[in-house]
């Protein structure tokens, strides 16, 4: 109960700090809110079925169980639908994913690329204990993309990366390790998505420290998702946007 009250207070604080599209004076960020953030799309039934199966599962998952992890750390459909819209708009072709994940977010990002647009995608999963996680992710990918995935250019490759997906779950050190490596490989078109940025006070402090780094010229803060851009020639700006 105390934790639930704390999350509601945190959300109210976020609402009071945030602005909607009419309070945004950056053409780039206004375009993002108008054409991506505030658009609507339905959850993808096959992926939501996988989410339900994992929430109902009694399987162990690292130091806990899969059901609890899925419920606690996997973004809800409001945010995964946003990931779908971001991916559809930006048409990512080189994707690198970091951190502990069930693959739900990955599937929403890949769906408009592999299924709808048939765009060749290169993908790399980076996690130090990745065997069990990779099994979950691969099972999800095979389930959703069995007719498309074998025909794509699907290989481990970190050249020309235009999406870095960081699953922010428990380890702060792993997030910083990802950021340190990303800073050596990014390009002008790289977008960074960081999940669960307000999961705890330490998560949020880490997110703010990352968003303040000079390398990121634009940072967008939603309640559970942070977005970072490298845009040369633009004055550094941070936006907390109501979602």
Given the structure tokens 């509601």, which residue do they identify? 8
Distance CA 50, CA 136 (A): 10
Q: At what angle do helices 77-90 and 45-55 cross, to 10 degrees?
A: 140
User: Quick one: what percent of the chain has pLDDT higher than 90?
Assistant: 49
| pLDDT in the model for residue 165 | 96
Each residue of 119-147: pLDDT tens digit? 888 888 776 655 555 566 556 655 555 44
Structural domain total, the chain: 1
For position 28, which CATH number holds? 3.40.50.150
Range of the domain at 220: 2-240
Mean pLDDT of 203-217: 95
| pLDDT in the model for residue 187 | 87
Q: Retrieve residue 23's tokens.
A: 């309070």
Distance CA 218, CA 151 (A): 35
Angle at 5 between CA 4 and CA 9, to 5 degrees: 120
Q: Retrieve residue 136's tokens.
A: 């979950």
pLDDT at 193 over 80: yes
Mean pLDDT of 168-186: 90
Each residue of 52-108: pLDDT tens digit? 999 998 988 777 888 999 999 999 999 999 999 999 999 998 898 898 888 899 999
Q: Is the dihedral of CA 43, 218, 101, 199 positive or negative?
A: negative
Which residues pair with residue 181 across a beta bridge? none
Q: Is the pTM of this model over 0.85?
A: yes
| pLDDT in the model for residue 148 | 47
């Amino acid at each position: 109960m105390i934790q639930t009250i704390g999350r509601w207070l945190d959300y109210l604080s976020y609402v009071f700090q945030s602005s909607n599209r009419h309070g945004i004076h950056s053409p780039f960020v206004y375009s993002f809110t108008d054409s991506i953030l505030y658009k609507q799309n339905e959850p993808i039934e096959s992926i939501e079925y996988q989410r339900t199966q994992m929430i109902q599962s009694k399987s162990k998952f690292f130091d806990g169980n899969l059901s609890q992890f899925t419920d606690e750390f996997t973004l809800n459909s409001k945010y995964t639908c946003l990931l779908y819209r971001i991916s559809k708009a930006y048409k990512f072709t080189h994707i690198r994913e970091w951190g502990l994940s069930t693959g739900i977010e990955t599937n929403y990002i890949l769906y408009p690329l592999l299924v709808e647009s048939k765009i060749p995608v290169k993908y790399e999963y980076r996690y130090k204990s990745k065997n069990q996680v990779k099994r979950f992710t691969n099972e999800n990918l095979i389930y959703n993309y069995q007719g498309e995935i074998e025909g794509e250019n699907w290989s481990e490759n970190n050249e020309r990366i235009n999406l870095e997906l960081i699953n922010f779950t428990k380890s702060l050190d792993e997030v910083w390790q990802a950021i340190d490596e990303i800073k050596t490989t990014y390009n002008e078109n790289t977008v960074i998505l960081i999940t669960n940025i307000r999961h705890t006070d330490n998560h949020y402090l880490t997110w703010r420290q990352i968003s303040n780094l000079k390398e990121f010229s634009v940072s967008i803060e939603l309640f559970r998702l942070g977005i970072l851009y490298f845009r040369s020639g633009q004055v550094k700006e941070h936006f907390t946007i109501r979602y």
